[in-house]
C-alpha cells in the first residue's frame, strides 16, 4: 500500500469528530511515522541510545512504543476494560487491526472509541517525553486515570 493510501486509511481513525485536536495531531504523527523516537535520533546521529523510555527493556521505535511496550499495554488494557473491548492481547498486530476496523465504521460508540484511543496515544507520548527529559516517572495506573478524567471532562463539557 502506498504512503498516501496509508495516510488516508489512518486519517479515518485519527480525525474523529469528537477527538481533541492536540490528540488528533499526535496520533497523526504516530501513524505517519513522524514522531522523533530514539531509533530516528540514532539514524540522525543525535543520540547513541535506543532504549524505550517507558519499559526500559527494548529498542524504542513507534511500533514498540504504541503497539508492543509492556507499559503502554497496561494503559491500553485499562482503556479497553472501560470500553468493554475484548480482544486477543497475545497478538498486538491483530488486536490493533480489530480496533482500527472498528474505528472505520460510523456511529457514536466509534467516535467515543476514537476519543479514548487518541487520548491514550497522546498521554503515552507525553509520559515518554517527561521520562526522557526530566527522569520523572508516572505509574501506568495514574496515566490511565489522566486519560479517563480528561476524556470524560472533555466529552461532558464539549457535547452537552
Catalog residues that contact Zn ion under the rule CB under 5 A.
52, 54-55, 69
Q: How far is the CB of 158 from Zn ion (least distance, A)?
A: 32
Indicate the DSSP class of residue 59: B
Q: Which is nearer to Zn ion, 54 or 147 (CB)?
A: 54
Q: Which is nearer to Zn ion, 69 or 79 (CB)?
A: 69
Q: How far is the CB of 80 from Zn ion (least distance, A)?
A: 18
Q: How far is the CB of 55 from Zn ion (least distance, A)?
A: 3
Measured CA to CA, the distance from residue 17 to residue 38 in angstroms comes to 32
Angle (deg, nearest 10), helices 108-134 and 70-82? 150
Q: Which is nearer to Zn ion, 24 or 125 (CB)?
A: 125
Measured CA to CA, the distance from residue 47 to residue 63 in angstroms comes to 19
Lookup: cell for 18: 469528537
CA distances from residue 94 to 18, 23, 87, 90, 99 in whole angstroms, order as listed: 26, 23, 9, 9, 9
Q: Which is nearer to Zn ion, 60 or 114 (CB)?
A: 60
Q: How far is the CB of 92 from Zn ion (least distance, A)?
A: 12
Amino acid at each position: 500500500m502506498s504512503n498516501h493510501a496509508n495516510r488516508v486509511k489512518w486519517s479515518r481513525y485519527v480525525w474523529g469528530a469528537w477527538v481533541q485536536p492536540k490528540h488528533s495531531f499526535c496520533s497523526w504523527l504516530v501513524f505517519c511515522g513522524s514522531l522523533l523516537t530514539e531509533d530516528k535520533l540514532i539514524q540522525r546521529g543525535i543520540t547513541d541510545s535506543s532504549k524505550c523510555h517507558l519499559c526500559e527493556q527494548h529498542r524504542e521505535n513507534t511500533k514498540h512504543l504504541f503497539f508492543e511496550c509492556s507499559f503502554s499495554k497496561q494503559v491500553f488494557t485499562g482503556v479497553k476494560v472501560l470500553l468493554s473491548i475484548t480482544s486477543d492481547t497475545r497478538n498486538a498486530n491483530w488486536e490493533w487491526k480489530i480496533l482500527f476496523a472498528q474505528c472505520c465504521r460510523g456511529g457514536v460508540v466509534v467516535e467515543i472509541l476514537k476519543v479514548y484511543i487518541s487520548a491514550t496515544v497522546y498521554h503515552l507520548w507525553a509520559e515518554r517525553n517527561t521520562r526522557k527529559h526530566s527522569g520523572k516517572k508516572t505509574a501506568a495506573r495514574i496515566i490511565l486515570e489522566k486519560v479517563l478524567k480528561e476524556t470524560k471532562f472533555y466529552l461532558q463539557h464539549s457535547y452537552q
